[in-house]
Amino acid sequence: MKTYKELNEVIYSDRLKNGLTVKMIPKKGYHSVYAVLFTEFGSIDHEFIPRGEKKYQTFPYGVAHFLEHKLFETRAGDISQVFSAQGASINAYTSNTKTVFLCSFTKNKRQNIETLLDFVQEPFFSDQSVEDEKSIISQEILMYKDDPDWILTQGLIENLYPDHPVRIDVAGTSESVESITLDMLNKNYLTFYHPDNLQMVLVGNIDPVETLQWIKHNQGKKFYPKPMKIERMINTKSGKPVTKSRNITVSVNLAKVSVGVKGHCFELGEKEAFRHILCMEILLDLLFGETSANYLSLYDKNLIDDSFSYDYIFERGFDYVSIGGDSRLPKELAETIQTILLNSSQNPDMTPAHFSLVKKKMIGESIQSLNSLGYIAQEFVDQPFSELTIFDYLSVLKSISFEELQHVAKDFFRADQMSVFTVDPKRQ
């Protein structure tokens, strides 16, 4: 149990005998419960040693996403209907590094928690169902390829990581999906869905002692082999340089542009990583947030509109910054963003006074966000650290100095790691 007196929050944690990690955050005054079950298994995990074997095997891209789809199909039918009958909603997604199953409900707590565990832990695959799923996912892939925002995001990632598995979309390609077999799914499932690689997070109207008893009873009826260390192989040491600039022509009304900066911080230890992520969030808000002179200037010059955004992605195996949006003058916008980043130390927005203002704003937003059960649960997924959590955000944020931020900016924003990807409108 970990207590945060200042925030009046408590985390109850336990690691079951089979390896399943359970984290519970009871919230008084709430009626609903937000439950998440996730595995550290995503699209980049396509080369590993399967459970019970000794050699590395390479699997087609898209297996993790394919498995997520197939788990919803049980012997009794679509599990979504079962949750609906129990007064719950269920959803799921696959990212580059995780597969996540999310459930929310206000009643039938034990029933919904056990259903969430059971459908993920008791898969039902058949050769025919695997073949049937291929066309569904292929259609999904084609749909993504028609989405200009997806094209922009994926194009920038391909620029930054030309030989990293993250360059391939989470769903894979039509060719890779077609080559997936039942045997491949079973090998991936047995390796990555062992309880030792699973975490369950519950936030809301729960009794942690009673809830843990339910989970232990559920897991006690299931039998698993001993936990093992998962041996993955991910090419994080790129042999190819960042692609500096690339564009594609698509049927859009307005051009889209994204400036990216490839990072080198994904191997930081837990405490250093947590602090670094916060530093990057402050930096981007300082330079491009709505309180910045840069933002007002870009807006006044008609270089950006309300689609403008910025983000720092920090994952197992990679990290990068992306900044951009729709623009009537994409080339000028990209050049301006790069100039701001490379000259951040001299930028008028990089001042102690503005730094103090942004920190206060972020502290307020953080406190407000703790009212959202879904936000809290999602933060435990996005940053599944063993020691630090979203409740440590405030104390770490307050301890970051302006000088530290200047050092991070100088170290991260490097010209040789920058890239621009543009989606241009087709000329009529």
Cα 181 from Cα 334, distance rounded (Å): 43
Q: Quickly list H helices, 161-242.
A: 174-178, 182-192, 208-220
Cα 268 from Cα 249, distance rounded (Å): 38
Range 354-389 burial, b when 16+ CB lie within 10 A, else e? bbebbbeebeeebeeebeebeebbbbbbebbeeebb
| Residue among 26, 11, 170, 18 nearest 99 (CA) | 170
| E strands present in 83-239 | 88-94, 99-105, 198-204
Annotation marks residue 68 as catalytic: yes
Beta-bridge partner residues of 2: 11
Cα 311 from Cα 170, distance rounded (Å): 19
CA-atom Rg of the chain in angstroms: 23
| Candidate list 68, 158, 281, 379, residue with the active-site label | 68
Per-residue CA distances from 261 to 19, 45, 97, 157, 170 (Å): 37, 23, 20, 10, 21
By annotation, the residues acting in catalysis are 68
